[in-house]
Amino acid sequence: MRGQFRDVRDRLVAAHGDEALKSRTPSTERFQVEMYLDYWYAAIFAAVDGYEKLALTDPEVERLRNDPLYTKLRSYRAGVYHFGKNILMMLSESFFNRQIPRLG
């Protein structure tokens, strides 16, 4: 998935310049970039959920699990994988604290 993300990010920059990484200007390329990011963040939660169910321990993972964003990640994952009218936009604004993530 890393390669696909890099490809769509590069297409976004080629079509709209480096500034497109910092703004949410609607475009097909921007949609594709955000689609991969949504999937990536949801997959992170699924991996950590498995980590918890297997009762694994690792200091770095525990540090990340204690981050306030981890609690938001559960809702974000639900928004990605389960239909809800306008839910994903609301969750992404909450998850990113109304800031656009760095894409590069």
- pTM of the predicted protein model: 0.64
The residue with greater pLDDT, 88 or 61, is 61
* The pLDDT of residue 98: 47
pLDDT in tens, 16-70: 888 887 777 788 888 888 888 888 888 888 898 899 999 999 999 899 888 888 8
Q: Which of the pair, 91 or 98, is modelled with greater confidence?
A: 91
User: What is the DSSP secondary-structure string of 45-94?
Assistant: HHHHHHHHHTT---HHHHHHHTSHHHHHHHHHHHHHHS--TTHHHHHHHH
Inform me whether the pLDDT recorded for 3 exceeds 90.
Answer: no
The pLDDT of residue 70 is 84
